[in-house]
Chain A
Amino acid sequence: EPEVTQTPSHQVTQMGQEVILRCVPISNHLYFYWYRQILGQKVEFLVSFYNNEISEKSEIFDDQFSVERPDGSNFTLKIRSTKLEDSAMYFCASRGGIQETQYFGPGTRLLVL
C-alpha cells in the first residue's frame, strides 16, 4: 500500500538555526499539506499546496516558514530561524484529486534547544 514518508524522524536543532523537513507524498496525489502537533495538544493545520503554489495557510505559517516541491516527488517545509516554540511533531499529508481523505506521514519530531 502506498504511503507518505518523512525524513528525518527526529531532528534536534539550536534556536535560530534553519531546518528543512522532507516529505515524499503518495505518487499520484495532487494536494499536499503540513500540520504540526505540539506535545499534548491538538493537530494544527499549517499550509496546503496545490499546483506548485500555496493554496491556504494558517496564522502559524508566518514568514519564517516556507514550502517547496523542488523535484516533483519531494515536498519540503523550511523553518528559517527556529524558535523554542517550534518544537513539535510535524506531519506531512497528501490526497488525490477527487477523494477527500488525507494520508499522513509518520512525522518528524523537531526539538529546538
Chain B
Amino acid sequence: SQTIHQWPATLVQPVGSPLSLECTVEGTSNPNLYWYRQAAGRGLQLLFYSVGIGQISSEVPQNLSASRPQDRQFILSSKKLLLSDSGFYLCAWSPRSGLAGFNEQFFGPGTRLTVL
C-alpha cells in the first residue's frame, strides 16, 4: 500500500530564517506530487506541482521554492521566511495513470508552520 510522509509535524521559525519541509511517498512510482498551503479562513492553495524528477511548476508567485531530487521526494524551501508564510502545509500525491479524469489526490499529515 502507498503511504506519504511529511516532517516535521510542527515548526516555529523566526522571520528571516530558512525553511525546509520534506515529503516522501512510498509504495508507488512516478507519482504526481503537490505542495499546498492552508491559511486560516482560506481554502487549500496549490503552491507547486511536479510530474517528474526536476520538473516543478509554480502556481503562484511567492517567497517559496520546491525541488524534486528523487522520484518520491518533494521538498519545499524558503531562504527567508515572512510572517505571511505561516500556515498548514500539505503534501499530496496522485497516480500518474489511472481512470480518465479520476486521479484522486492523497494527502500527507501536514506541517503546521508558525513564523514569529
Does chain A bind chain B?
no
Residues of B within 8 A of A (CB): none
On A, residues with C-beta under 8 Å from B are: none
